Amino acid sequence: MREEQANRCGPGAADQARACTVREALDRVGGKWSIGILIAASTGPVRFTELERRVEGISRRMLTLTLRNLERDGLLVRHVHPTVPPKVEYTATPMARELYESLVALTRWAERHREAISAARTAYDREHGTPAG
Amino acid sequence: MREEQANRCGPGAADQARACTVREALDRVGGKWSIGILIAASTGPVRFTELERRVEGISRRMLTLTLRNLERDGLLVRHVHPTVPPKVEYTATPMARELYESLVALTRWAERHREAISAARTAYDREHGTPAG
DNA sequence: CAGAATCCCCATTGATACTG
DNA sequence: CAGTATCAATGGGGATTCTG
């Protein structure tokens, strides 16, 4: 997690340049937990512990790391309240909400083809060897 | 590369179920090379070696592996011509082309926010330590 | 030409313990 | 509460070699 190239897609065949642009976007939400966090924070400010509960299965460490990355990319804003005990809130930026909206088309695609893909896999695994033997 | 759950998103908070659906889609194109291959094969049948040239930087091994995954998911069709020397052609399925169209929104998002993200990173790295420092 | 088989590295993730 | 610090496991991906 720390893809340095922010926009270096460079030259090359036209379609591979497009591929690179797509990857640019995917690399920011490609992490295992990014989407879950983004969605949880898109409705309003969320606290660290609340995220820990809502994003099921995430470890404290990964929550911290993913949070930092999202913040670094400008997808999340971190607001620290100087109180004791500490209170930190994370909020999705407009850019992040736009991102999520762009993902809607992809979500629909997944829903439409869920079964087709599942079937394709079963068929494939029958012809070639199945994962377990 | 062999995510077994084809559609097991299970129950849980509503937004985390959505997060899971998004990940379902992302997991199929999340690989480093999937998109490049998909795009290269979306215009028409492509041969193995041609892909090797067009998808810049890919190794023979990763090409084979990614090809197999895409085929397994029903995104690519593999056609073997019984000639000598062998000739194998890969073609994107309609489902794959739909997928690529769904990615257009994401591509636009990436283009719109390229600079903003780059700036956010620079700012972040200035306040906190930079990667190399 | 189109792979399959091997070996190896390191980035991502996880588990656990400690702290301002 | 909201992290940081360490250690360990896993597997994605690269490089190379062999083959029908």
* Tens of pLDDT, residues A18-34: 999 999 999 999 999 99
Task: Say whether both B3 and B20 belong to one domain.
Answer: yes
Q: How many domains does chain A have?
A: 2
Within a domain: B133: no
pLDDT band at A13 (very low <50, low <70, confident <90, very high): confident
Q: What is residue B14's predicted lDDT score, i.e. its pLDDT?
A: 86
- Residues forming a β-bridge with B122: none
A16:B30 CB<8 A: no
Please report, as a single letter, which amino acid is at residue A68. Answer: R
- The answer to whether the pTM exceeds 0.95 is no
Q: Specify whether A55 is located in the same domain as A118.
A: yes
Residue A82, class by beta-carbon neighbours within 10 Å (0-12 exposed, 13-18 middle, 19+ buried)?
A: exposed
Chain B within 8 Å of A5 (Cβ-Cβ)? no
**Residue B16 domain flag:** yes
What pLDDT does B1 receive? Answer: 47
CA–CA separation, B93 vs B72, rounded Å?
12
Look up tokens 């379902």; give the residue.
B24
Per DSSP bridges, beta strands B87-92 and B76-81 are: antiparallel
> Residue A2: what pLDDT?
46
Looking at the structure, do residues A16 and A57 belong to the same domain, yes or no?
Answer: no
Same domain, B100 and B53: yes
**Which residues of chain B are within 8 Å of residue A30 when distances are taken between CB atoms?**
26, 30
* Predicted local distance difference test score (pLDDT) of residue A3: 46
Same domain (yes/no): A45, A23? no
Give the pLDDT of residue A15: 87
Residues B108 and B92 in one domain: yes
Neighbour-count burial for A99-126, b at 16+ CB within 10 Å, e otherwise: bbebbebbbebbeebbeebeebbeebee
Is residue A55 packed enough to be buried (19+ CB in 10 Å), middle (13-18) or exposed (0-12)?
buried
Whether B110 and A22 lie within 8 Å, measured CB to CB: yes
Q: Are residues B22 and B40 in the same domain?
A: no
Same domain, A52 and A67: yes
Q: Would residue A133 count as lying in a domain?
A: no
What whole-number distance in Å separates Cα of residue B116 and Cα of residue B93?
35
Question: What's the CATH number where B119 sits?
Answer: 1.10.10.10
- Are B5 and B53 part of one and the same domain? no
Mean pLDDT per 10-residue segment, chain B (133 residues): 54 85 92 96 96 96 97 97 96 96 94 96 90 56
Q: What residue of A is the nearest CA neighbor of B17?
A: A36
Of all nucleotides, the one whose C1′ comes closest to residue B69's CA is D12
Does residue A7 register a pLDDT over 70? no
A7 shares its domain with A66: no
Task: Assess if residue B18 is contained within a domain.
Answer: yes
DSSP secondary structure, A43-80, as one string: SS-EEHHHHHHHSTT--HHHHHHHHHHHHHTTSEEEEE
- Its domain, for residue B5, covers 1-30
A87-118 pLDDT tens trace: 999 999 999 999 999 999 999 999 999 999 99
A4 confidence band (pLDDT: 50, 70, 90): very low
Distance CA B109, CA B79 (A): 35
Residue nearest to nucleotide C3 (CA to C1'): B64
B21 HSE (CA, 13 A, CB side): 22
Q: Does one domain contain both A25 and A36?
A: no
- In the structure, how far is the CA atom of residue A61 from the C1' atom of nucleotide C14, in angstroms? 9
Considering the domain architecture, whether residues B84 and B109 belong to the same structural domain is answered as yes
Nucleotide C2 C1' to residue B85 CA (A): 9
A69 versus B132: the higher-pLDDT residue is: A69
Is A4 within a domain?
A: yes
Confidence of residue A6 (pLDDT cuts 50, 70, 90): very low
Q: Tell me whether A64 touches chain B (CB under 8 Å).
A: no
Which nucleotide is closest to the Cα of B85 by its C1'? C1
Residue-wise pLDDT tens digits, A33-58: 999 999 999 999 999 999 999 999 99
